Structure 1
Amino acid sequence: MRTAEAYRVRIAAKYSHVKALIEKDEQLMMNIIETEEFYTNKWLQFKRESYESHIRDINTLLTASKSLLQEHNNLKFLQKLKIERLGSRLEIGPLLLIKREYTTSHRMETVERLADSLSEAVSRNTERLWANLRAIHLDADTAHPNLDVSSDMLEVCWSKQVTQEDKETEQTQSEYSVLAKEAFSSGCQYWEVAVWEKPYWLIGLSYGPDTKAEQKDTLASGNVLNKAFCYIYHGNGKYLVCNGSEETVLPMGLKIQKLGVWVDLQRGTLSFYDADTLKLLHSFTVDLFGPVYPMFNPCIGLNEQNTQPLVLFNLRSRK
């Protein structure tokens, strides 16, 4: 597990760097706000001093005007008018300019907009399929008798000794399958299955029997159990996706070790992913008529091949 530990150390270092960048950006924005507040107070102090000077000039003018108006001698009136220069234009700032107010909202709005854009960028780049990874378990009661389901309900494999009749049976027979305990009828659901190097497997969706009694009756009658209406099949290195009668062969060269299945029940879409690379393999638009069950078919283990299990990949957390 040294390789896993090396990855863990490198990835932890990368996230520490990302967190440091975000914290640095946060500190920068807080400093911008604090600096803006400092210079706003400085500007307001300047404006206050300007207003006070303006008021003093007006008071001086009013005092001189009152003194002049009380003078009844015309000659003295003209002399005082000349001395006080009350007839010249006073250099007092226009009232319109005095009424204009400085605002801090533009820079604050810019800071908030930058914080929003960072939040959106982080959210957009951390929308992972893995964030929606559902923990699902196999329902042993729905398993074909020739299948073994593990006690933790996370693995299924072919268990029966293969007969000549089995060899003549098509390996993709969907009755050799098991359903998940969980059925989905709303929202978006995502789950993963480890297929590793199995040469044959089939994974898809089924409507499943409606009741346990129906399941037992189906097994007893020999009818097809857990029939998939939409699935992906792997056989000898080739991948085939099917939706009803619609079939598509995927490009050659694929080598999937873990399969991801995404279903959007509101939009009626089903997508298959290479779960290791999160590369989309294929999407279908499907008609959904009720709750759907994840379905798993490990296929027949021929000639001691294909005996590996299908393993549900449920997220584990570090303690």
Structure 2
Amino acid sequence: MNSKVGAKATNKEMLFKHQQHLQKQRAAIAHRMKKLAAKEAEITKKTNALKEKIKKRYEDMKRVLDEDLRITLTQLDTELEATEKLVEDRVEYCYLLTQELDQELANISAQMEKDTQEVHMKNAETEKRISETLKLTDPDLIKIDEFKNAQLLSITINLQLIIRSQIPVTQKLFQSYAADVVLDADTAHPKLIISSNGDSATYTDTWQDVPETPSRFDTTLNVISEQGFNKGCQYWEVDVSEKTYWELGLTYPSIPRTGREEVCWLGRGRDSWCVEYFNGDYTAWHDGVQYELPLLAGRQFTRIGVFCSIPGGLVCFIGADTMTPLHCFCTGTFTDTLYQAVCTGHDNGGTNWKSLKICDASRSAPVL
């Protein structure tokens, strides 16, 4: 009897301790939720403050440009007013002379009876005045300073080019993080041809005679970079022009290389992040979750950029032609080295033979 009572007491004590432990854990989780909410509020506050500072800078630039435009247009208006005044003066001068000539013509009949020599002298004087007036009022003598105006337009164009070279500022920032990406032929699916310098991947129907390596993808048309990174920020771009099907993104080295499961595909497992383009539609993928991007449907970009911030836990995809944001993943913390990855896609009914080519991300895409 005593043993049963003792066992019950012990069991009750254990349950009580377990209850206390769970209550502490619950309190810890609740505290963590508060910390996370505070962190979110802190990040939101800092981001909004930065947005306000940048917005103020742009407003200041706009005020400077608006004032410069006002000054330039005012100067041109002033010159135009002076030219218009000169033309009006010349027209008035001609008008007064025509009135005099009308009066002269009206008096000719009366003058006919006067001395012929006097008439000739008068006519000669009138002819001289007419000649001088025509010379003075020649429209070709009224000019604007074409050279100065051409310089003004040239300076304006140069200013525009300077400003455009700084906009968008995101592009300039990403370009400063440009990475040299070389594709690793030893990881490429046997139906991919990797260029000798590792800057392009091309799909072919022919199975290439390549050595079998543990790192090679054997069911998905993937290839990853030779070098990975695990600190700082990196940005790279891929030329996707004339492609109807492609995937590209980032992956941990742990991504499965063999097997039929979809986890071998980019973005289908926890190991990778990607954006996929297929026949005009864009989809972002991570951990098997797809994110439809309907606002981008039908849009085509020459280049796609991928920005990754290790400190910020960000993977962002950009239409590099116009720096159009496609999708951004926030992972919080990366747990392994990241590698660049591309999938060329199959031939897609004969429409997708073009190569995927790594670009020099430190330079803007050419304007077509």
Q: Determine the C-alpha separation between the residues in 1 that align with 2:200 and 2:281.
A: 23
Q: Residue in 2 aligned with 1:274?
A: 319
Match of 1:14 in 2: 158
Distance 1:227 1:237, change over 3 A: closer
Aligned-partner Cα distance in 2 for 1:141–1:175: 14
Aligned residues: 190
2:292 aligned residue: 249
2:182 corresponds to: 137
Uncovered stretches (5+) of structure 2, i.e. residues with no partner: 1-153, 208-217, 364-368
Contact 1:270 1:283 in 2 (8 A): yes
Contact 1:209 1:226 (8 Å CA) reproduced: no
Amino acid at match of 1:308: K
TM-score by structure 2 length? 0.45
Give the secondary-structure state (helix, strand or coil) at the position aligned to 2:176.
Answer: helix
Which residue number in structure 2 is paired with residue 191 of structure 1? 236
Provide the rounded CA distance (Å) in 2 between the counterparts of 1:127 and 1:193: 17
Specify whether residues 267 and 199 from structure 1 end up closer, same or farther in structure 2 by C-alpha distance, changes over 3 A only. Answer: same
Query: Judging changes above 3 Å, is the alpha-carbon distance between structure 1 residues 240 and 185 closer, same or farther for their aligned structure 2 residues?
Result: same
Give the distance between the partners of 1:175 and 1:187, measured in 2 at CA. 30
TM-score by length of 1: 0.52
Q: Using the TM superposition, give the Cα deviation of residue 227 of structure 1 relative to its aligned residue in structure 2, in angstroms.
A: 4.8
The runs of at least 4 aligned residues of structure 1 exceeding 4 Å deviation read 15-19, 124-127, 221-228
CA contact (8 A) 2:178 2:362 kept: no
1:151 to 180, 191, 196: 196
SS at match of 2:190: coil
Deviations 1:89-134 (A, max 9, x none): xxxxxxxxxxxxxxxxxxxxxxxxxxxxxxxx99x78843222221
Tell me how far apart the structure 2 counterparts of residues 279 and 236 of structure 1 sit (CA, whole Å).
Answer: 19
Q: Secondary structure at the match of 2:353?
A: coil
1:234 alignment partner AA: Y
Map of 1:66 onto structure 2: none
Residues 259 and 126 of structure 1: CA distance in aligned 2, closer, same or farther (over 3 Å): closer
1:222-261 pair list within 5 angstroms: 227-228=266-267, 229-250=272-293, 251=295, 252-261=297-306
Structure with the higher helix share, 1 or 2:
2
Please tell me whether residue 310 in structure 1 is matched to residue 353 in structure 2.
no
Equivalent pair of 1:132/1:189 in contact (CA under 8 Å): yes
Whole-angstrom distance in 1 between the partners of 2:285 and 2:291: 6
Relative to structure 1, is the Cα distance of residues 178 and 259 closer, same or farther in structure 2, using a 3 angstrom cutoff? same
Equivalent residue letter for 1:204 = G
**Aligned ranges for residues 174-189 of structure 1 at < 5 Å?**
175-189=220-234
Question: Cα deviations across residues 252-291 of structure 1 (Å, max 9, x unaligned)?
Answer: 2321221000011111111000111112111111252100
Counterpart contact for 2:308–2:315, Cα < 8 Å: yes
Q: What SS class does the counterpart of residue 184 from structure 1 fall into? A: coil
Greater relative contact order (Cα < 8 A, sep 6+): 1
Tell me if structure 2 keeps the 8 A contact 1:146–1:158: yes
